[in-house]
């Protein structure tokens, strides 16, 4: 009898324990957005088109001093100009530069895509004058004008997009900043393709190149002799500050086969490294320099 009572009591305890054991919830994950979709319905936070977007933690000291892209003749990318589809829509990129005009809404992207690979294979750098367009050739160049203010910049197209919300072009953070549209997240612009031959670019003031003591600098490689392509390492309000920074750069870089020079422009003394045989060579050198310097130099033409 007592044995039967014991068995019944144990059964009740087991059933009670099972009834109070928490049930494991099925994990659910949001479906990731397609790679081509770099947009959102969220309202901008801090000015970015994407919520929470904006400049990085250590932006250049004077973003306004970053020069526009300067059109040069470059071969078209082998793959980035083929017909493609994105979000159930087909696109046929142009294969000739020039003779293109368009008006529409431009947006911009900053740190959320900084360092990610573009359609050209290059890494997106929000501090360069670049843009993404659905059909303009890659690479090519375009003048983008802010319709409301009349401000304009020249950018290098090296990526595809945008694909949603009737936007016509995605600008780098720096290009949007110079146009004055970072606060609104997007704005109406006019796009006009430009070429190395047309170059409808406003000329800057006459500049003065001030080489350092030849004994103290590295000599330029013969292939780059006479080139006007340099990498800008810094820009300063005083020559003394620029010289101090140049000395630091010489210690970090060591032997590079390039010259470190001071370059005066727009009341700034800039520290340049070069010359490089082409813009492509200069861009390819930036990644290696970034690991040494801790920042990404900018391509600059004298």
> What DSSP string describes 240-254?
HHHHHHHHHHHHHH-
- The DSSP letter of residue 72 is -
Across 13-17, 71-75, 167-171, 228-232, which has the greatest mean pLDDT? 167-171
Q: Domain locations in the chain?
A: 63-194, 208-301
On the question of pLDDT at 13 being above 60, the answer is: no
Measured CA to CA, the distance from residue 166 to residue 173 in angstroms comes to 20
Confidence of residue 225 (pLDDT cuts 50, 70, 90): low
Confidence at residue 166, expressed as pLDDT on a 0 to 100 scale: 79
Distance (Å, whole) CA 4 – CA 14: 16
> What's the length of the chain?
302
Longest dimension (CA), the chain: 110
Q: What is the per-residue pLDDT for 51? A: 58
Q: What is the spatial distance between Cα 173 and Cα 114, in angstroms, rounded to a whole number?
A: 10
Residue 114: what pLDDT? 83
- Say which range, 25-29, 49-53, 55-59, 242-246, has the weakest mean pLDDT: 25-29
Query: What stretch of H or E contains 104?
Result: strand 101-109
At residue 265, the 3 state secondary structure works out as: strand
- Residue 44's pLDDT is 36
Kindly report, residue by residue over 153-182, the tens digit of the pLDDT.
Answer: 999 999 999 887 778 999 999 999 999 998
Residues in CB range of 256: below 8 A, 6 or more apart:
218, 273
Q: Among 73-82, 256-265, 288-297, which stretch is predicted with the lowest mean pLDDT? A: 288-297
Could you report the per-residue pLDDT of 97-125, keeping only the tens digit for each? 778 999 999 998 887 778 889 999 999 99
Three-state DSSP at 107 gives strand
Question: Mind listing the pLDDT tens digit for each residue in 227-275?
Answer: 788 888 888 888 888 888 888 888 888 777 888 888 887 777 888 898 8
Residue 3 has pLDDT above 70, yes or no: no
Q: Which CATH architecture has domain 63-194?
A: Beta Barrel (2.40)
Neighbouring C-beta atoms of residue 253, cutoff 10 Å: 16
Most confident of 134-138, 223-227, 243-247, 278-282: 134-138
Supply the pLDDT for residue 48. 47
Contacts of 270 (CB under 8 A, 6+ apart): 232, 234, 235, 236, 242, 262, 263, 264, 300
What topology is assigned to 208-301 in CATH? Alpha-Beta Plaits (3.30.70)
**Burial of residue 51, with CB atoms counted within 10 A of its CB: 0-12 exposed, 13-18 middle, 19 or more buried:** middle
Give pLDDT, residue 198: 63
What is the DSSP pairing of strand 130-132 with strand 152-159? parallel
d(CA 194, CA 142): 5
Mean pLDDT for the stretch of residues 196-214: 40
Proportion of the chain above pLDDT 70, given as a percent: 71
Give pTM, 2 decimals: 0.54
251 or 134: which leads in pLDDT? 134
Q: What is the mean pLDDT of the chain?
A: 74
Is the pLDDT confidence value at 26 over 60?
no
Tokens 């800039």 map to which residue? 270
Q: Which residues contact 206 (CB under 8 A, 6 or more apart)?
A: none
- Worst-scoring range by mean pLDDT, 63-77, 80-94, 161-175, 193-207? 193-207
Residues of the chain with pLDDT > 90: what percent? 25
Residue 302: name the closest of 211, 192, 214, 236 by CA: 211
The answer on pLDDT for 146 being more than 70 is yes
| Average pLDDT value for residue range 34-58 | 48
Task: Give dist(CA 94, CA 100) in Å, integer.
Answer: 9
In this predicted structure, the answer to whether residue 220 has a pLDDT above a threshold of 80 is: no
């Amino acid at each position: 009898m007592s044995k039967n009572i014991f068995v019944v009591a144990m059964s009740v305890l087991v059933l009670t324990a099972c009834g109070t054991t928490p049930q494991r919830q099925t994990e659910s994950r949001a479906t990731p957005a397609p790679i081509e979709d770099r947009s959102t319905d969220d309202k901008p936070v801090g000015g970015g088109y994407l919520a929470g977007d904006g400049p990085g933690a250590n932006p250049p000291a004077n973003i306004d001093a970053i020069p526009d892209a300067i059109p040069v003749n470059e071969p078209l990318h082998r793959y980035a100009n083929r017909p493609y589809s994105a979000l159930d829509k087909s696109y046929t990129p142009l294969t000739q530069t020039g003779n293109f005009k368009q008006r529409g809404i431009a947006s911009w992207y900053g740190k959320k895509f900084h360092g990610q690979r573009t359609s050209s294979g290059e890494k997106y750098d929000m501090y360069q004058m670049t843009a993404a367009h659905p059909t303009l050739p890659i690479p090519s160049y375009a003048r983008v004008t802010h319709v409301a203010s009349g401000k304009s910049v020249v950018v290098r197209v090296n990526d595809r997009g945008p694909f949603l919300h009737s936007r016509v072009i995605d600008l780098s953070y720096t290009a949007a900043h110079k146009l004055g549209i970072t606060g609104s997240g997007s704005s109406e612009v006019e796009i006009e393709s430009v070429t190395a031959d047309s170059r409808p670019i406003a000329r800057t003031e006459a500049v003065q190149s001030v080489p350092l003591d030849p004994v103290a600098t590295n000599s330029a490689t013969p292939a780059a002799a006479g080139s006007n392509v340099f990498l800008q390492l810094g820009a300063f309000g005083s020559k003394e500050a620029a010289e101090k920074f140049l000395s630091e750069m010489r210690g970090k870089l060591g032997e590079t086969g390039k010259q470190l020079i001071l370059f005066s422009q727009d009341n700034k003394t800039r520290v340049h490294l070069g010359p490089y045989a082409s813009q492509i060579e200069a861009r390819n050198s930036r990644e290696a320099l970034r690991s040494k310097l801790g920042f990404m130099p900018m391509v600059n033409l004298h």
